[in-house]
Amino acid sequence: MEIHEILQSLEKGKISANNAKKLLSLYSIEEVEGFAKIDINRRNRRGIPEVIFAETKELDEIKKIVKKTIEKTNSVIISRIKKEDYAKMLSFSKKLKVKIKTGKNSSSLLLFKKPIKFHGGKVGIMTAGTSDIGVAEESRLMCEAMNCKCITSYDVGVAGIQRVFPILKKMINEDVDCIIVAAGMEGALATLVSTMVDIPIIGIPTSVGYGYGGKGIAALASMLQSCSLGLSVVNIDNGIAAGGIAANIANRAIRKNHSS
């Protein structure tokens, strides 16, 4: 039974509340040919859309998961599509007749059917360098999928520290609820930003860097060891997680403001 059929049956007294609850819980998981189980109800339960981690999946598997997910929900994010699969995945998505958002320097896609309304909170996103943009764009796609407006500014790292002040002023004036900072090398930008604002900061150490502490290790260690309070850190290159956390913070803040 589809959700509307379950609710109609409950309304007409054809099934009990307990039976309806059982049917609805079964509906929340969709199995795809025995190799994937999709958490269809995640958006309703947690406000977070389904995310497909494509890097370790075959193209045919990704297509089947996307098709099933978009049948049951409004949106889906396909994260880290392999370089050789990206154009094929983009072409397949267009055939589904859905709207598509891409990210600059990113191999991730946001697919959605109904227009996304930015009625959630506001999230600021900045990067230390241009090499960090792809990861930051994953965060942006995630935040926008969760109805958040994003204010972005890229290449404002500590190598030219004066660049960060105008965008911080803008983000404060825009009253953002959370700021995401993506930085590689020594990852200093996240600490710097967190010392200057009373806004929750989420640091993303990126795998930009080489030699001792390369591939994001130095940036991760630096952010974790930061003595600046108010800075939280996700794993290396995990723009999706940072976006999900930031959007949850922002959306919760907007709900609290509206209810007060």
pLDDT tens per residue across span 200-254 = 999 999 999 899 989 999 999 999 999 888 899 999 999 999 999 999 999 988 8
Pairing of strands 75-79, 50-53: parallel
Residue 30 has pLDDT above 80, yes or no: no
Domains 33-112 and 120-258 fall in the same CATH topology:
no
Q: How far apart are CA 137 and CA 125, in angstroms?
A: 9
Counting Cα atoms < 13 Å in the Cβ hemisphere of 14 gives: 7
Backbone angles phi, psi at 24, to 5 degrees: -65, -35
pLDDT at 169: 94
pLDDT at 247: 95
Residue with tokens 């996103």: 125
Indicate the range of 11-20, 43-52, 73-82 predicted with least confidence.
Answer: 43-52
- Which DSSP symbol is given to 115? P
Pick the CATH number of 120-258 from 3.10.50.40, 3.40.640.10, 3.40.50.1970, 1.10.3720.10: 3.40.50.1970
Q: If residue 97 lies in a helix (H) or strand (E), which one and from where to where? A: none
Backbone angles phi, psi at 75, to 5 degrees: -145, 160
Residue 40 has pLDDT above 80, yes or no: no
- Could you state, in order of their start, the residue ranges of all structural domains in the chain? 1-28, 33-112, 120-258
Q: Spelled out in words, what is the top-level CATH class assigned to the domain 33-112?
A: alpha beta
The residues with which 152 forms a beta bridge, in sequence order, are 125
